[in-house]
Amino acid sequence: MSKSIEIKLNKKDFLISETDSKGVVRFANDDFCKYAGFTLEELVGQNHNIVRDPEMPKAAFADLWQTIKSGNIWKGFVKNSTKNGNFYWVYATVYPFTSSDGSQGYISCRRQASDQEIKTYTALYKEMKAKEQ
């Protein structure tokens, strides 16, 4: 098995996606598609966890869902996988919202994570994953 490669975001990149209340992708901007390695057509209708990296601890996403389902904004660091098996880190902010059609959903905005943040959260998430075993 080949080792996955870390893809680094540029400072100007801003990844945006919108999902319905169950996490199914309704929209993703060009930056999100570029880093994830999927076309918009491939993403729409898929669960957002299509980009979830297996090294992310379940507790991180449990916290995210608990927070946003209660109507609050969640902020945190996320390691995502690309379509071809590589990965990238982001600092994400997830907002609950009501769409113009009245449906509930979530918008996630992501920016570059610093090298120090990546180092810190790699260690933390590795420790959290070990506790899941």
Q: How confident is the model at residue 2 (pLDDT cuts 50, 70, 90)?
A: low
Q: Is residue 5 part of a domain?
A: no
**What residue ranges in the chain does DSSP mark as E strands?**
15-20, 25-28, 74-81, 87-98, 104-112
d(CA 12, CA 87): 18
Q: Is residue 2 part of a domain?
A: no
pLDDT at 1 over 90: no
CA 45 to chain centre: 16
Q: Is residue 42 part of a domain?
A: yes
- pLDDT at 99 (0 to 100): 87
pTM higher than 0.85, yes or no? yes
Q: pLDDT for 32-62, tens place per residue?
A: 999 999 999 999 999 999 999 999 999 999 9
Round the average pLDDT of the chain to a whole number and report it: 96
Using DSSP's 3-state secondary structure scheme, residue 37 falls into coil
- Boundaries of domain holding 77: 15-132
Burial (CB < 10 A; 0-12, 13-18, 19+), residue 133, is: exposed
d(CA 86, CA 35): 10
Q: Is residue 1 part of a domain?
A: no
Q: Provide the sign of the torsion angle of the four alpha carbons 39, 62, 124, 15, taken in this order.
A: positive
- CATH number, residue 27: 3.30.450.20
Q: Is residue 10 part of a domain?
A: no
Q: Is residue 57 part of a domain?
A: yes
Q: Are 121 and 89 in contact (CB under 8 A)?
A: yes
Q: pLDDT for 98-123, tens place per residue?
A: 988 899 999 999 999 999 999 999 99
Number of domains in the chain: 1
Q: Is residue 41 part of a domain?
A: yes
- pLDDT at 133 (0 to 100): 76
Q: Are 95 and 116 in contact (CB under 8 A)?
A: no
Q: Is residue 60 part of a domain?
A: yes
Mean pLDDT of the region 1-25: 93
